[in-house]
Amino acid sequence: MTPAPPLKYLMRFAALAYIGVLVIVPAGLILWRSFSPGLGQFFSQISTPAAISALQLSLLVVAIVVPLNVLFGVPTALVLARSRFRGKGVLQAVIDLPFAVSPVVVGVALIVLWGSAGAFGFVERDLGFKIIFGLPGIVLASIFVTLPFVIREVEPVLHEIGTDQEEAAATLGSRSWQTFWRITLPSIRWGLMYGVVLTVARTLGEYGAVIMVSSNLPGKSQTLTLLVSDRYSRGAEYGAYAISTLLMTVAVLVLIVQVILDARRARARA
Amino acid sequence: MTDAITLRGVNKRYADFAALDDINFAVPSGSLTALLGPSGSGKSTLLRVIAGLDVPDSGTVTIDGHDVTRVPPQRRGIGFVFQHYAAFKHMTVRDNVAFGLKIRKRPKAEVNQKVDELLETVGLSGFQTRYPGQLSGGQRQRMALARALAVDPRVLLLDEPFGALDAKVREDLRAWLRRLHDEVHVTTVLVTHDQSEALDVADRIAVLHKGRIEQVGSPTDVYDRPANEFVMSFLGAVSSLNGVLVRPHDIRVGRNPEMAIATTDGTAENIGVMRATIDRIVYLGFEVRVELISALTGGRFTAQITRGDAEALALKEGDTAYVRATRVPAIAGSPQSADSDEALAPAKSP
């Protein structure tokens, strides 16, 4: 259905106004607030010891979470795409669970499980290995909320390429691990990269689950998002804007990579 | 001639469906054998069992005298070509063809030389740096053939290799495959559902139906001496002339009873001549399809005659014509074989 011209323009305006008010104005306002006192101010705010520590911690968490998600995500996607077994439907639903569960609930669940009074509390009490309120807790929370991304991006690609190429490789003498490295992995690479990009974005941006399991000490156990919240609640509003801008810059970079990967994937499919 | 591939008592079931039902079958060395059958007849499963891509529930598979039933596809010495090419999309044509040789860790110079030779053979010289996405379907399939031949397979297995191609390209590739086989001489098994492809390319045809092999023989054997009605009707068009199955091109049409008798018969006997009404005449280029209604039974049947004959007889729709079957294939177990002078096909229970 094509609406009459006046209605068409009205709909366009409404859509643009909606996106403008909800997305562009808030984001633009933060940018403006960050840079209005001058670049010097901005850089001094993002280079305080607490800010550098938060950036390092966020990147460290990404560096741990991404390889783990790839290492477990790809085999899981292979199992889901290539084999039939009882309980596959349940597994599919469980993998989507992190999409449905509120991050705060994830944090609480991790405390119930790994906290010193939790089900696996012996790890901290007897082995002295601190999970909740330490780096492992942040990593576990991040993995929980990012678990589906790699699997959900790789699985449909595996369905699409089918098994023909892998069987062809087998008839040519290729052993299964050779086939994986030479055929399967290159075929799913754009889907996998897309999953990784989504994982990076979500890990950097996660707040709810992380705040529950982090001791939230500036310069020690604060990620970038925790630092933003912390600065804001302590009245250091400008510092919060500056870190927000830093996070947004990362988000924009991720968005650009996402657009490039989308184009690559479309081309690879042709 | 020795047998390159032998299957003994091979069974394969999927749930309650028998894909292969006690298959005993041999492929002579150097032959080009077609596995012909409708979809679901088990022909692709049979090929995949030979390749090791599917494992039979029981029975044995031997290639060049070695029992390979439990040997994975990697070590069977086969080349396999898939219906949808299975091109390695992220590799150039050169890397596709070189794949098997690189897996075998052959020296680079040898690999490059062999790849260039093979691409020359399949008519893809100069395409080395292209990607499969930049090739036409026919070119992709020729690349897949070069890739399969690169590892010097003992047997070449083709699973509906031309099934995804246009009619014209398909015919060109058929002729090309025949020439290639005469050149390379590797034992080849081709799966197809297209009887004209099988008759055109193969020197032996195995007809499959419901997981069983109905008949194995030369193209003329299976066409002229079908083992049963299924083989008869699957290998070409069939007309029922008062209950007797004949090929439409074996029906002679005339204006009077005498003209319906082929001149080579020499006699003027009227035996077997029937009266019929012309219902419809269809011109199909070089041939003419005449649809008739039998005066005796009222049954419909089709005769296929040349354009020249149709013009000489000046056939018109509604006219009365006389017809006679000039050749009745012998089918074991059916009543018409009794009055046929053709060699009897091997007995086969229906």
CB–CB contact B88 A172 (8 Å): no
- The Cβ of residue B255 has, within 10 Å, a number of other Cβ atoms equal to 15
pLDDT digits (tens, 9 = 90+) for A210-254: 999 998 888 888 999 999 999 999 988 899 999 999 998 888 888
Q: What is the pLDDT of residues B78-113, one digit of tens each?
A: 999 999 999 999 999 999 999 999 999 999 999 999
Strand order in the sheet with B251-254: B251-254, B320-325, B274-284, B287-294, B300-306
Burial class for A182, CB neighbours closer than 10 Å (0-12, 13-18, 19+): buried
Of A164, A167, A178, the CB nearest to B103: A178
Name the residue among B85, B86, B104 with its Cβ closest to that of A167: B86
A172 to B87: CB separation less than 8 angstroms, yes or no = no
Compute, in degrees rounded to 10, the torsion defined by CA atoms B106, B110, B111, B116. Answer: -170
The reported pLDDT for the residue numbered B346 is 38
Mutate to test the interface with A, among B99, B135, B156, B160 (most CBs of A within 10 A): B99
Question: B329 and B340 in contact (C-beta within 8 Å)?
Answer: yes
Nearest Cβ partner for A170 among B74, B87, B90: B74
Q: Say if the Cβ atoms of A168 and B86 lie within 8 Å.
A: yes
Dig out the tokens for B196 from the structure. Answer: 């004209």
Read off the pTM: 0.81
Does B9 touch chain A if contact means CB atoms closer than 8 Å? no
Contact B82 A167 (CB under 8 A): yes
In this predicted model, what pLDDT tens digit does every residue of A140-165 receive, in sequence order? 999 999 999 999 999 999 999 999 99
Residue B327 has pLDDT above 70, yes or no: yes
Q: Which of A143-152, B18-27, B304-313 has the lowest mean pLDDT?
A: B304-313
User: Is the CB of B84 inside 8 Å of chain A's CB atoms?
Assistant: yes
Q: Which residues pair with B239 in a beta bridge?
A: B246
B55 CB within 8 Å of a chain A CB: no
ipTM above 0.90, yes or no: no
